[in-house]
Structure 1
Amino acid sequence: MAQYILAHDLGTSGNKATLFSTDGKMVGSRIVSYDTHYFKEKWVEQNPEDWWKAVCLSTKQLIGELGVHPEDIQVVSFSGQMMGCLCVDENGNPLRDSIIWADQRATKQVKDLEEHLTQEEFYRIVGHRNTPSYGIQKLMWIRDNEPDTYDRTYKVLNAKDYIVFKLTGKFVTDYSDGNSMGCFDLENLTWSDRILEASGIDPVKLPDLKPSTYVAGGVTEEAARATGMAPGTKVVIGAGDGVTANIGAGSVDEGKTYCSIGTSAWVTTTAKKPIFDPEMRTVTWAHAIPGYYAPNGTMQYAGGAFNWMKEAVCTGEREAARQSGTSVYDLINEQIEQAPPGSNGLLFLPYLLGERAPRWDTASKGSYIGITSETTRADLLRSVVEGVTYNLGIILDILQQHIAIDEMIIIGGGAKSPAWRQIMADVFGMPVKVPTILDEAGSMGAAIIGGVGAGLFDDFHVVDRFIEIERSEQHNPENKRVYEEAKRRFNDFYFALRPVFEKHQAEGADGWL
């Protein structure tokens, strides 16, 4: 009799329910979307009941359409958006919409914390900078601006934690989502007394911290009726989406590293200790695997910069693709491959939305540098991909100062481009491996966590059963030498322009110069 694991990936745009067999095969998936509410420029919220409805509907669709017997689902586990702030009462009823990761309203609360802790002190505790993105700053904002809601708050949850409550009635979170609250002691895996004292937040409002493999309980009768699952099905709490992807991309041993290229992009590895960069350019998450950490650098706009180039520069390719019925991406890749490595000296700073790692610079702008009378269209296109990859290469260089990394698994939309894959191999100077399935790392990671937690798998090395490497790109030593020099100039030009960007931001000008 077949046995299955159900994984839910609660993202920003919707929930994906994916069913895996215990032999590592993906059986099917269903996505149910929900709304995100953007307002007052920096405010971003979601209705948590939309999450629950999406989980219920996607589960019922998946079970019904695949003809799976609910009793054959051995465990359900989760990957979920991180750095949220959902206030619920003692019965688990939401007291307001959830303030999600993208919300940036809590700037005053960041400054309030800075009166008690320097950025470096905060970073050394949490592994992250003190910014408005994290949960504790958002909860401080609620306390300061919605005191009645704060007083009535029994627990503060992230997205997956709310669904775990709806299924089991338990208020828990895992270490990775605890880390995303911004009041977490990374080395001791506990809530940080020092940050909580500085914040003035009552620690009893925080959920219990557990490993990602923790079985919160079984699906209740009420939840079974709502979802179509069998009562008593084991519920494993899983982890935040940035960490479940570590598992699903095979980063389960020290030095195993992957790069995800979507709208944003990141490089993440696995380590036995947190990496505290003296310049605070990278961050460290608590890993889903007990005893490990997930050092990471995330850039703001990677595939996003490629998409900007496609829309703003590639009008000819888009029209040709429309007329011929071919892929615009294939036509763009053909152009990219016509330019030499280094794009004839042309550089592109991919900072169209400012930058997180390694710059932490909200003022920086996207820029072409080095255009000459001999610059070609192919140079313009290739330099965008190279600029994104240089930025990722700098993140990799920082991680390599602390840990040995000799190969890279790449996932996400950018991994579909042969030209980009080769550029990554050459810039990183190491083999780049591409799995057969590029877009399921979060769901796959959640499934593996669930299987380990439920006792179906001995350990996380079972990921080898789930991942099949489709191809591997080897780096070209000559191209690597070209890119090492180009990456150095890329870095030099950024630092030369940073004072100009900062002056521009301070003046509040609408143009860039």
Structure 2
Amino acid sequence: MTEYILAHDLGTSGNKASLFSTDGKMVGSRIASYDTHYFNEKWVEQNPEDWWKAVCLSTKELINGLRINPEEIKVVSFSGQMMGCLCVDKNGKPLRDSIIWADQRATKQVKALEQHLTQEEFYRIVGHRNTPSYGIQKLMWIRDNEPDTYEKTYKVLNAKDYIVYKLTGTFVTDYSDGNGMGCFDLENLKWSDRILEASGIDPAKLPDLQPSTFVAGNVTEEAAKMTGMAPGTKVVIGAGDGVTANIGAGSVEEGKTYCSLGTSAWVTTTAKKPIFDPEMRTVTWAHAIPGYYAPNGTMQYAGGAFDWMKEIICTSEREASRQGGKSVYDLINEQIEQAPPGSNGLLFLPYLLGERAPRWDAASKGSYIGITSETTRADMLRSVVEGVTYNLGIILDVLKQPIEINELTIIGGGAKSPAWRQIMADVFALPVKVPAILDEAGSMGAAIIGGVGAGLFDDFHVVDRFITIEGSQQHNPENTSVYEQAKQRFNDFYFALRPVFEKHHAEGAVN
């Protein structure tokens, strides 16, 4: 009898249910979408019952569509959106919609914490900066603005934790989602007494902390009826989506590093200790693998900058694609390859939505620098890709300081571009490995975590069974030399322009 692992990836736009066999093959997947509610400029919420309906629907469709015997599914595990705040009562009933990761309302609560801890002190405890993105600040906002809800709150959960409760009746979270609450002692893997005291939040409202491989319980009879799973199926809690991708991209031992290149992009590695950058340019997550950490730097708009270029500048390529049937991306890549490395001195700052790592500068803007009468259209297109890659390269430089990194795996939509892959190899001065499957790292990581937790796999090196490397691109030393100088100019230009960005932001001249 074939044995399967069911992985759920609860993202911002929907849930993907994926079925993997224990020999590492993805058998199939189904997606069920749900709505996100944006309002009051900075407020972003979701209805947790929509998460549950999506899990039930996608699970039933997957099992029925593949004609799988539910008894053959040995474990279900999770990857989920992080840094949320869902208040539930003792019966697990949501008391309000969940405030999700993108919400930025808790600015006053950030300042309240700053009265007790400096940014540096907070960063040294959590591995992250004190910002409105994290769960504890959002819970403080609920206490300060919706006191009745706060008083009735029994536990605060993230997306996957709520689904684990619905399946098992257990209130629990893993270390990675605990880390995303913003009140987590990263080195000691427990709730931080100091931050909780500074926040004034009741520690009893936080769920129990467990490793990502923890078996929270078994699927109840009621949950089995609603999902189509077999009663008694093991439920492993899994991890936050930024960490499950670590596993699914093969970052399972120190120095194993990957880059996810989508609308946003990040570089993440695996380390035995947190990386506390003196300039706080990067963050560190608790890894899904016991004893390890996941240092990371995420930039705001990577593939997003490419899409902006495609829509605003590449009108002729889009029209040619409609006329001739050739992919617009192929046409853009042909243009990019016509320009030399370094784009004839043209630089692009890819800060169209401000920037997280390594700048942490909401005021920064996208900018072309170095346009001359000889600048070509190909230079302008290539410089966008190079600018994104320089920014990622600065993040990688921070991660490389304490640990040795010899190669990098790239996943996500941007990995489909041979031109971009070569630019990355040359800027990073590393071999860039490309898996056969580029978009399943989160689901794959959740499946592997579930398999280890349920005892189906001995350890996380089983990832080699799941990942097939399709190719590898080596760096060209001559190009790398050009890019080393260009990346330094990129950095210099940003710092030269930062006072200008700040001035315009303060004056409200640029929205």
Q: How many residues matched?
A: 511
Quick check: 1:422 aligned with 2:422? yes
How do 1:293-332 and structure 2 match up within 5 A?
A: 293-332=293-332
SS in structure 2 at match of 1:76: strand
Distance 2:49 2:262 in 1: 27
Could you give the per-residue CA deviations for residues 214-253 of structure 1, whole angstroms, max 9, x where no partner exists? 0000000000000000000000000000000000000000
CA apart distance, 1:510: 3.6
Which residue identity does 2:184 align to in structure 1?
F
Distance 1:156 1:312 in 2: 43
Distance 2:46 2:420 in 1: 35
Ranges in structure 1 where 5+ consecutive residues have no aligned partner: none
Distance 1:52 1:324 in 2: 44
Match in the other structure for 1:183: 183
Match in the other structure for 1:278: 278
Match in the other structure for 1:120: 120
Match in the other structure for 1:70: 70
Match in the other structure for 1:380: 380
Distance 1:34 1:327 in 2: 30
Which residue identity does 1:330 align to in structure 2?
D
Could you give the per-residue CA deviations for residues 413-465 of structure 1, whole angstroms, max 9, x where no partner exists? 00000000000000000100000000000000000000000000000000000
Match in the other structure for 1:267: 267
Match in the other structure for 1:341: 341
Distance 2:48 2:323 in 1: 43
Distance 1:147 1:132 in 2: 19
Distance 1:487 1:308 in 2: 22
Match in the other structure for 1:391: 391
Quick check: 1:404 aligned with 2:404? yes
Name the CA shift for 1:35/1:60 in 2 (closer, same or farther; >3 Å): same
Ranges in structure 2 where 5+ consecutive residues have no aligned partner: none
SS in structure 2 at match of 1:368: strand
Task: State the identity %.
Answer: 88
CA apart distance, 1:268: 0.2
Distance 2:65 2:505 in 1: 53
Which residue identity does 2:340 align to in structure 1?
P
Moved over 4 A (4+): none
Distance 1:209 1:430 in 2: 37
How do 1:471-490 and structure 2 match up within 5 A?
A: 471-490=471-490
Match in the other structure for 2:42: 42
Which residue identity does 2:249 align to in structure 1?
A
How do 1:19-34 and structure 2 match up within 5 A?
A: 19-34=19-34
How do 1:44-59 and structure 2 match up within 5 A?
A: 44-59=44-59
CA apart distance, 1:370: 0.2
Match in the other structure for 2:82: 82
Match in the other structure for 2:494: 494
Match in the other structure for 1:162: 162
Distance 2:228 2:323 in 1: 46
Match in the other structure for 1:252: 252
CA apart distance, 1:358: 0.2
SS in structure 1 at match of 2:252: coil
Which residue identity does 2:351 align to in structure 1?
Y
Match in the other structure for 1:361: 361
Could you give the per-residue CA deviations for residues 166-203 of structure 1, whole angstroms, max 9, x where no partner exists? 00000000000000000000000000000000000000
Match in the other structure for 1:211: 211
Could you give the per-residue CA deviations for residues 125-173 of structure 1, whole angstroms, max 9, x where no partner exists? 0000000000000000000000000000000000000000000000000
CA apart distance, 1:402: 1.0
Distance 2:510 2:184 in 1: 39
Distance 1:148 1:373 in 2: 64
CA apart distance, 1:326: 1.5
Distance 2:217 2:320 in 1: 55
Quick check: 1:131 aligned with 2:131? yes
CA apart distance, 1:71: 0.2
Distance 2:325 2:473 in 1: 29
Please give the root-mean-square deviation of Cα atoms over the aligned residues, in Å: 0.4
Distance 1:156 1:325 in 2: 50
Match in the other structure for 1:243: 243
Match in the other structure for 2:447: 447
Distance 2:452 2:380 in 1: 47
CA apart distance, 1:298: 0.2
Match in the other structure for 1:192: 192
Could you give the per-residue CA deviations for residues 454-512 of structure 1, whole angstroms, max 9, x where no partner exists? 0000000000000000000000000000000000000000000000000000111147x
Match in the other structure for 2:464: 464
Distance 1:510 1:291 in 2: 45
SS in structure 1 at match of 2:113: helix
SS in structure 1 at match of 2:484: helix
Distance 1:451 1:292 in 2: 18
Distance 2:510 2:247 in 1: 43
SS in structure 2 at match of 1:29: strand
Q: TM-score, normalised on structure 1?
A: 0.99
CA apart distance, 1:325: 1.4
Match in the other structure for 1:3: 3
Could you give the per-residue CA deviations for residues 378-411 of structure 1, whole angstroms, max 9, x where no partner exists? 0000000000000000000011111100100000
Distance 1:105 1:216 in 2: 32
Q: TM-score, normalised on structure 2?
A: 1.00
Distance 1:220 1:510 in 2: 54
Distance 2:325 2:431 in 1: 34
Match in the other structure for 2:101: 101
SS in structure 1 at match of 2:363: coil
SS in structure 1 at match of 2:235: strand
SS in structure 1 at match of 2:20: strand
Quick check: 1:505 aligned with 2:502? no
Distance 1:421 1:509 in 2: 37
